[in-house]
Amino acid sequence: MTPSTTEPRGLRWLLILLAALLLGVFLLLPLAAVFTEALRRGWPPMWQALSDPDALAAIRLTLLVAAIAVPVNTLGGLAGAWCIARYRFPGRALLLALIELPFSVSPVVSGLVWVLLFGAHGWFGPWLEARGLQIIFAVPGLVLATLFVTFPFVARTLVPLMQEQGREAEEAAATLGASGWQSFRRVTLPGIRWALLSGVLLCNARAMGEFGAVSVVSGHIRGETNTMPLHVEILYNEYQFVGAFAVAALLALLALVTLGAKALVERGTARGAAA
């Protein structure tokens, strides 16, 4: 490399320092503020806030919603990525664009659409009410809203990778007499497992952390339809700051674990590519 295609050493370090300072103040400091506020009065009040029955119910509900939404969107994403990356058919690009559509929709709108369908004054509201079924202001609504906002994650991570891989390996497996399921398990899955894991992780982080969409369909019934992010808001609005920041810190921890796991997965991908 000729010296003229890079910056002088001093300038280089200045730019690195500037970038580090920027990310530190703009991204890291807010994170530090969450943990500091949560621990403002030490561990016991924070612990108390987290073991409060309403907080525990919120944690359970968040886990339940993610446990339903993530597998559904993983299966759908696998099917979508499979047909988009392995076959050519008219409307393929449109299909991919439609799968990615939920990313450009506001979280609040992602909740609103379900109210318009199943709310008291929604298309199917009266029909549901006559049968004593409740979707909005109940767990099914939370699941549907979460499904909408986490819809594209898995498909979007898989499509570029599977397109790059091509279909030769699976064709060979089929020619050798493997059934579709065998070929999927023995050929496709090993090739995409790291990307799949990464997509699932992101999908899960969003599912557990979603706020706007679930806020619209939840009805904020404590102990019943309150997920963790919604519990944070309720506590905050009631000026229970330590409690709000304690639950927020738990969610922030989830984000950090997700980022760490994603970094590990990416390293796994790099090693897989090198091998």
Partner 1 sequence: MTPRRRDPLPGFGLSLGVTLLWLLGLVLIPLLALLLRPLELGPAGFWHSVTEPRVLAALRLSFLGALAAAAATVPPGLLVAWVLVRYRFPGRRLLDGMVDLPFALPTAVAGLALTALYAPNGWLGAPLAALGLKVAYTPLGVVLAMAFVGLPFIVRTVEPVLRDLPREAEEAAATLGASRAQTLWRVVLPALAPALLAGFAMAAARAIGEYGSVIFIAGNMPMVSEIAPLLIVVRLEQFDYAGAAAVGVAMLALSFLLLLALNLVQRLWRRA
Instruction: Tell me which stretch binds partner 1 (CB under 8 A): 42-50, 126-134, 157-165, 166-174.
Output: 166-174
Q: How far is the CB of 160 from partner 1 (least distance, A)?
A: 11
What whole-number distance in Å separates Cα of residue 111 and Cα of residue 102? 11
Q: How far is the CB of 131 from partner 1 (least distance, A)?
A: 19
Q: How far is the CB of 56 from partner 1 (least distance, A)?
A: 18
Helices marked H in the chain: 9-23, 29-38, 43-51, 53-86, 92-100, 107-118, 125-130, 139-149, 153-165, 168-175, 180-183, 189-209, 212-218, 228-237, 241-274
Q: How far is the CB of 6 from partner 1 (least distance, A)?
A: 7
Q: How far is the CB of 205 from partner 1 (least distance, A)?
A: 5
Give the footprint of partner 1 on residues 41-70 (CB under 8 A). none
- When binding is defined by CB under 8 A, the residue of 115, 135, 142, 159 that contacts partner 1 is 115
Give the footprint of partner 1 on residues 207-266 (CB under 8 A). 208-212, 215-216, 229-230, 232-233, 236, 244-245, 248, 251-252, 254-256, 258-260, 262-263
Nearer to partner 1, 2 or 275 (CB): 2
What whole-number distance in Å separates Cα of residue 9 and Cα of residue 19? 16
Indicate the length of the chain as a whole number.
Answer: 275
Say how many residues touch partner 1, by CB under 8 A: 98
Burial 175-196 (b: 16+ CB within 10 A, else e): eeebeeeebeeebbeeebebbb
**Please, is 148 exposed, middle or buried when counting C-beta atoms within 10 Å of its C-beta (0-12, 13-18, 19+)?**
buried
Q: Is 147 in the site for partner 1 (CB under 8 A)?
A: yes
Q: Is 137 in the site for partner 1 (CB under 8 A)?
A: no
Q: Kindly compute the dihedral angle of the four CA atoms of residues 22, 23, 25, 31, in this order, to the nearest 10 degrees.
A: 170
Nearer to partner 1, 56 or 263 (CB): 263
Give the footprint of partner 1 on residues 73-102 (CB under 8 A). 75-76, 79-80, 82-84, 86-89, 95, 98-99, 101-102
What whole-number distance in Å separates Cα of residue 200 and Cα of residue 206? 10
CA distances from 168 to 28, 177, 187, 231 (A): 45, 14, 10, 50
Nearer to partner 1, 87 or 131 (CB): 87
Q: How far is the CB of 96 from partner 1 (least distance, A)?
A: 10
Instruction: Tell me which stretch binds partner 1 (CB under 8 A): 26-34, 52-60, 156-164, 189-197.
Output: 26-34
